[in-house]
């Protein structure tokens, strides 16, 4: 049995070829690339965070001054200074 000369097979192949051409056309369309946009606030935050990370964890000059005062028994902070230092974190 020959199927290459069958008219129905030829019709099916013709329809198949048409549908594959349409698929090829859609694949050729250029897709947009993903883009990212960072707000001005986010940029400023990133810069500030980067600078913060560069800061030393302990201010050595202040620590040395307090150590010297403690060794001379001359360091007596008031209770208010201690509480303010605990909450302010600026000492």
Alpha-carbon distance 42 to 37, whole Å?
Answer: 10
**Better pLDDT: 8 or 69:** 69
pLDDT at position 91 is: 45
Tokens encoding 69:
């005062």
pLDDT in tens, 19-56: 666 655 555 666 778 888 889 999 999 999 999 888 87
Burial of residue 84, with CB atoms counted within 10 A of its CB: 0-12 exposed, 13-18 middle, 19 or more buried: middle
Closest CA to 75 of 83, 66, 84: 66
Helix (H, G, I), strand (E, B) or coil at 6: coil
pLDDT at position 82 is: 84
**Better pLDDT: 18 or 24:** 18
pLDDT at position 25 is: 59
Q: Check pLDDT > 80 for residue 90.
A: no
């Amino acid at each position: 049995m020959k199927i290459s000369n069958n008219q129905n097979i030829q019709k099916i192949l013709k329809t198949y070829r048409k549908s594959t051409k349409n698929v090829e056309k859609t694949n050729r369309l250029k897709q947009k690339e993903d883009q990212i946009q960072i707000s001005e606030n986010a940029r400023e935050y990133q810069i500030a965070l980067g600078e913060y990370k560069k800061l030393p964890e302990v201010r050595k000059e202040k620590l040395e001054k307090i150590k010297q005062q403690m060794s001379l028994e001359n360091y007596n902070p008031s209770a208010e200074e201690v509480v303010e230092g605990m909450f302010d974190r600026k000492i």
